Amino acid sequence: MIVWFLSVIGRVTTDFTQSLQRTLVATRMRGIRHTSRYGRSLEDQRTLWTMGHPLAILPPMMDDLARTEQELLRVVAADGDFLTEIAGHLIKAGGKRVRPGFAMAAAAALDFSGAPATLDVIRGGCAVELVHIGSLYHDDVMDDATTRRGVNSVNAEWGNHRAILAGDYLLGRASELAAALGTEVAGLLATTITLLCDGQIQELQAQFDTDRSVDACERSIFGKTASLLGTACRIGAIVGGLPRPVVESLTEFGLAYGMAFQIVDDILDVIATDEEAGKPTGNDLLEGIYTLPVLHALDDPAVGPGLRSLLTAQITLDERDRARTLIRETNGVTIALDIAQSFADKAAGVLSDLPDTPGAAALRAASDDLIARANAPLR
């Protein structure tokens, strides 16, 4: 598995450095204000970041995330109020802004001063976040989701057609931001969107397939999650003007962290309560998305056959709960946690040559926090 991952890192990193040479239109920026409809002020959002952001130990992070919030809202403003409202819907609903945080921490990897992020670094992080948010609009349409981040999903509020177009609009805005930062960043973001779509399609193709291979699962994770976190780190490093060997190391860190991040999320979906995970759990089984802990549980000779009989397209909530219980009776979660640990170790290892700056320290702390999150419900 590790050999495969390193080979993919090598191929994708090469693709990034040979990125598409495209010229996109200049970025337009317009103002937009928070409305009270969402019930979450910037002060509330700052509290969320302080309590739960994996990079919170970086001194300027909270202020830089506040700047990011305002920049996101400015970037998505359209000529008409209606599109502006739809495009800003999930931004105003809040979020940890993990991907912009990684762009800012990566840019600060060699900086001992603790200075705030530059505007270009903020905008690079916003480009990655807009790709992520745009993908959520599309995901909610595919999943027929009704809520997201505590508010109505865009498709539930305005319908599938408008949600899809608004998601496309966010991808367009992300591309404009990337283009303004240079052709390498523009090409990098285009490659990342391609990888994200490929990962999602692979996952859809494997729905309700109890014979899905571990290798196929990891490749899907690489596309849908790891590539975006790798890109966040790489954009931060490029825009921050870091030496090319450091750019490569930070890219590798982001990819490895992204793999661990998604595996931990998949473990929590099986073992955690909604309160422990901070979101509804058990949905993957209902949607036929069989992740690493599930696939390894299916290999258990004592439990596998019974588990397999529950995992169908007609699965009920009761059957879902029985399936979760069976999975926890196997070593599937332990095996998946070991895999996540290996990726987290890989992420931490590539930072070993970096100086002990606040940015590098924040990235190391984020890797440690991942495994602690997965272990918490097991205690």
Token reading at 94: 């809040």
- Across 159-185, average pLDDT: 95
Residue 19 confidence (pLDDT): 32
The whole-angstrom separation of Cα 21 and Cα 183 is 5
CB 291 within 8 A of CB 269: yes
Residue 379 confidence (pLDDT): 63
Q: Map out the domains of the chain as residue ranges.
A: 2-25+38-378
**Which of the two residues, 279 and 106, has the higher pLDDT score?**
106
DSSP class of residue 279 equals: S
- Across 31-55, average pLDDT: 50
Ranges of beta strands (E only) in the chain are: 147-148, 151-152
What is the number of other CB atoms lying within 10 angstroms of the CB of residue 164?
A: 17
How confident is residue 50, by pLDDT bands cut at 50, 70 and 90?
Answer: low
SS3 state of residue 117: coil
Q: Is the predicted pLDDT of residue 24 greater than 90, yes or no? A: no
CB 28 within 8 A of CB 74: no
State how far Cα 133 lies from the chain centre. 10
Instruction: For residue range 221-244, list pLDDT tens digits in order.
Output: 999 999 999 999 999 999 999 999
Enumerate the H helices of 110-182 as residue ranges: 119-143, 154-158, 160-180
User: Taking the model in full, what pTM does it have?
Assistant: 0.85
CB 231 within 8 A of CB 132: no
CB 177 within 8 A of CB 116: no
Q: Which amino acid is at 353?
A: D
**Which of the two residues, 365 and 13, has the higher pLDDT score?**
365
State how far Cα 322 lies from the chain centre. 29
Residue 26 confidence (pLDDT): 28
Q: Does domain 2-25+38-378 match CATH 3.40.50.300? A: no
The whole-angstrom separation of Cα 107 and Cα 244 is 12
